[in-house]
Structure 1
Amino acid sequence: MDCIGSTSESPYILLLKAALLIPISHYVLGFLFLLSVFLYNYLEMYFIQELLTGFKGQYVSLTFNSCCDLYQEVVSKCKLLHGRVSSTPWLCSPHFQTIFLQFFERVPACNYQRQLFKTPDGGTIALDWLRNVDVKKPSSEGSDGIPSDDKTPIVVVIPGLTSDSSSAYVKHLAFKMAKSGWNVVVSNHRGLGGVAITSDSLYNAGYTEDIRKIIDHLHTQYPQAPLFAVGTSIGANVLVKFLGEEGVDTPLVGAAAICSPWDLLIGDRFIKRRAAQRIYDRALGIGLKAYAQLHQSILPRLKDWESISKISCIRDYDKHVVCVLANYETVDTYYRKVSCGGYVAKVGIPLLCISALDDPVCTRETIPWDECRANKNVVLATTQHGGHLGHLEGMTAKSLWWVRAVDEYLCALNSSSLNRREKIQNTTVDSPLKSIDEAPYVNVMNGLVKRHQVK
């Protein structure tokens, strides 16, 4: 007590001297530990959770109506939808799962055959085909298109925002389905897939007229082939909205919606909520800005190019481009009107929806649980982890769980009693949609792209 009282040094000086006695290496280790904890939580990693369960993964959760024939006759037979989803151990984060696909090197080679499809308003859409014979017997790639009487089932793929047939996840899906004996056609959005805009119109999250014309055309061209569709991200929003608009009056036999945004207004608020989400928002906004500027010369209705040049998020693009071209009063009006969550109740054909609860782009807050449960034509499958269009699995991350699940589901649906839709035999009616082969440029995707006119 006397010793302490006799010193004239400040307690803070003494504390500093004591702190200096601790080795620098201990501070470094402490800093690294705190940084690791911060990054672990910031990146929403779940490695420890997976480690504690022996990397067995979490079970898929299914939501459906108790009187659902789709579940009883199809989904109940899908082992993947009743099993566990285990992520690649070194990708145990929704952000790693989402971003890794952009740099995924082990992507299947898809030698697409291209059709250029012209819409009634003069727009051009690239339809990229991957036939089952091209995957199973590469030597037959010189054959000319698909015979009109072919009964091989066709699946139409609708990509997400700024994605096209060259995107890694689209190639995974197309290759897997073609390998299973399907003919796959990727319906690229206007201005994507290496084809220029040819009308004063761009695609958006709620414009269903293009996919409606394409499906009607495919049904007319191949009346004996069962038609299915898979939409991803914004493509899923377009697909579900289309199904709700059509009800039972669609040539499609069944469909799947993967990582749908469901409610764009809630999604817009979510993607601006945290720093990690704002990175996705900015990246997508810049990509959309480049998309609009690429076609500036043929979009006369867009006047405020100064504001367009400053686009830094999705909402900016929707305000200065989508609302102008699609005649929406405000961005919120646009989001409310085109969100597919309000159309789920009207879906009239078998629909499987897959969403990851940790999706960093399309939040779980938007999932229409009650609507999916009320509609007997819908089964909702949710996973605890997976990111946005990720679900990478295996030590080498060479496959996507949702791709395998969609393949299993569509194959089961195609062979079930629910696939009893009558095919309209109408080969004499001329379609008002004719193809063109004068596009300014085309993409070469992992091989020769062949042009075929749509008869």
Structure 2
Amino acid sequence: MKRDPLLQHDSSFVDSAPAVVANVLDPIEEWLYSAPRWLPTAHAQTIVPALFGRKPAVSYRRERWDTPDGDFIDLDWLAHTSRDVASTAPLFVLFHGLEGSSDSHYARSMMAAAEARGWHGVVPHFRSCSGPLNLLPRFYHLADSAEADWILRRLRERHAGPIVAAGVSLGGNVLLRWLCERGTDASIISAAAAISAPLDVHAGGHAISQGFGMVYTRSFLKSLKKKALAKLAQHPGLYDPNAVLAARTLHEFDNVVTAPLHGFRDTDHYWSSATTRAHLKHIEVPALVLNARNDPFLPESALPSQAEVSACVTLDQPNHGGHVGFMTGPFPGRIDWLSQRVFGYLEHFLSRG
């Protein structure tokens, strides 16, 4: 199988990294993704895993944290059923995607992988995503790095072992923004992985506002509008309910709800602030950035090259996989390639914890 040059380490990273990580991607062929023939299109590779993928059974224990601003978030901790886990075992933190949760197919798959390795695992829910509506007149957003910082630092205070983190789609963007902003201060975690993050939010927003992409947009808006109207019942006068109902694209919805609620002038200001592509060169912690070139949520032209990113960043850009898809095997398929790829990367950096 031919080696993809985008998957090769920058030599300066290998030279400067601890010896334990020198061969993180060898043999690289182990991780080259190939889509099954029965999933021939980007949309099939995206939709089938999300709707029909066989999610492993994992158990969670919920914990509620009060936030410094008078709100709350819910964290679902992996509840190991077959063994006791040492307090110093690695902790895997997963930030979910837009309107996702600990029950999302990728979350269950990765928590099952953590359990199999004897790791701790936790899914911190963004505000309003754990079931009950949060209290304040705000939700969560693509640039919510301050929330990630508070969560990760509190986890660092509590956990005795190394911490690694991953983020999926929106959660991946939040994690990358935090890594870009914090530089060496992000070394409270040993390594990170961002999966299908919208590295150029303008390009991604445009991609799902036309053609078949509107299928995804309508699905998101159905959930987001319901929450937005419930938030109006909590806090009357926040925004115009008719404008919420009239929104046909995420750009229109963000202009009415997300941007003004979170301190942005408008959608364009919000999306520009949330875009991470130009800032990936500031990352100082080992990070895997995984994006399929056929992701319906982000055009291939928006993907960075290795020359644009920090030597600490490993780009993995397979030709196929869709958006958070990466299904493998004969029908009905498996959804565990993604978790194996992510953990195969992260586990090499545990000595940094």
TM-score, normalized by length of structure 1? 0.72
Find the residue that maps to 1:255 and give its secondary structure: strand
- The residue number in structure 1 matching 2:140 is 203
State the distance in 1 between where 2:306 and 2:7 align.
13
SS in 2 for 1:89: coil
Q: Provide the identity percentage.
A: 27
Instruction: Confirm or deny that 1:332 pairs with 2:271.
Output: no
2:11 to 33, 45, 66: 66
What is the alpha-carbon distance in structure 2 between the residues aligned to residue 196 and residue 270 of structure 1?
30
Q: Deviations over 1:310-333 (max 9, x none)?
A: 222211221110111012112111
Choose which of 30, 42, 45 in structure 2 pairs with 1:94: 42
- Name the counterpart of 2:346: 410
CA RMSD of aligned residues (A): 2.3
1:227 counterpart = 2:227: no
Quote the Cα distance in structure 2 between the aligned partners of 1:178 and 1:75: 26
Could you tell me which amino acid in structure 2 is paired with residue 161 of structure 1?
A: L
Partners of 2:214 and 2:19 lie apart in 1 by: 41
Are 2:175 and 1:239 equivalent residues in the alignment? yes
Q: Which residue of 1 aligns with 2:317?
A: 382
Return closer, same or farther for 1:88/1:79 CA change in 2, 3 Å cut-off: farther
Q: Which position in structure 2 is the counterpart of 1:394?
A: 329
Q: Is the 8 A contact 2:53 2:333 kept in 1?
A: no
Segment of structure 1 superposing worse, 61-70 or 196-205: 61-70
Q: Structure 1 residue aligned with 2:253, among 313, 317, 324?
A: 317
Query: How big is the shift at 1:79?
Result: 5.3
TM-score (norm 2): 0.91
Whether the 8 Å CA contact 2:167–2:194 is kept in 1: the answer is yes
Are 1:352 and 1:381, in contact at CA under 8 Å, matched by a contact in 2? yes
* Separation in structure 2 between the aligned mates of residue 80 and residue 319 of structure 1, nearest angstrom: 46
- Matched with 1:448 is none
Q: Could you report, residue by residue, the CA deviation over 1:234-273 in whole angstroms, capped at 9, with x for unpaired residues?
A: 1111000001111111311110011110011122222234
- In the alignment, the residues of structure 1 paired with residue 9 and residue 18 of structure 2 have an alpha-carbon distance, to the nearest angstrom, of 7
Matched, 1:82 2:29: yes
Distance 1:60 1:97, change over 3 A: farther
Tell me, yes or no, if the aligned pair for 2:55 and 2:105 is still in contact at 8 Å: yes
Partners of 1:196 and 1:281 lie apart in 2 by 22
C-alpha deviation, 1:384, in angstroms: 0.6
Query: Which consecutive residues of structure 2, in runs of 5 or more, have no partner in the other structure?
Result: none
- Equivalent residues in 2 for 1:128-139 (5 A)? 128-131=76-79, 133-134=80-81, 136-137=82-83
**Alpha carbons of 1:93 and 1:394: their partners in 2 closer, same or farther (altered >3 Å)?**
same
Cα displacement (A) at 1:296: 2.5
Name the CA shift for 1:77/1:64 in 2 (closer, same or farther; >3 Å): closer
Deviation at 1:60, TM superposition (A): 8.1
Deviation at 1:364, TM superposition (A): 1.9
CA positional deviation for 1:363: 2.0
- Pairing partner for 1:153 from 84, 90, 99: 90
Deviations along 1:108-149, one digit per CA (max 9) or x if unpaired, are: 111101110111112211110114x33x34xx7xxxxx88xx
- Confirm or deny: 8 A CA contact 1:63 1:372 kept in the other structure: no
Local SS of the residue matching 1:333: helix
1:164-175 equivalent positions in 2, closer than 5 A:
164-175=101-112
Counterpart pick for 2:226 among 284, 290, 294: 290
Q: 1:123 aligns with which of 71, 88, 92?
A: 71
Distance 1:209 1:397, change over 3 A: same
Rg larger in structure: 1
The gaps in structure 1 that reach 5 residues or longer are: 1-55, 141-145, 422-455
Q: Which residue of 2 aligns with 1:268?
A: 205
From the superposition, tell whether residues 80 and 240 of structure 1 become closer, same or farther in structure 2 (CA, over 3 Å).
farther
Q: Specify the code of the residue in structure 2 equivalent to 1:89.
A: R
Which residue matches 2:277? Answer: 341
What is the SS of the residue equivalent to 1:214?
Answer: helix
Match of 1:11?
Answer: none
CA distance in 1, matches of 2:293, 2:18: 21
Deviations 1:367-396 (A, max 9, x none): 2225554x1111101101000000100113
Give the structure 2 partner of residue 420 of structure 1.
352
Contact residue 101 and residue 168 of structure 1 kept, 8 A: yes
Displacement after TM superposition at 1:410 (Å): 1.3
Structure-2 residue corresponding to 1:193: 130
Q: Matches of 1:101 and 1:388 in 2, distance apart? A: 10
- Out of 237, 240, 252, the position equivalent to 1:304 is 240
The question of whether the paired residues in 2 share the 8 Å contact of 1:229 and 1:254 is answered with yes
Residues 414-444 of structure 1, C-alpha deviation per residue, up to 9 Å, x if partnerless?
Answer: 2xxxx335xxxxxxxxxxxxxxxxxxxxxxx
Report how many residues are paired: 348
Look up the match of 2:154. Answer: 217
Measured in 2, the distance between the counterparts of 1:231 and 1:199 equals 24
Partner of 1:108: 56
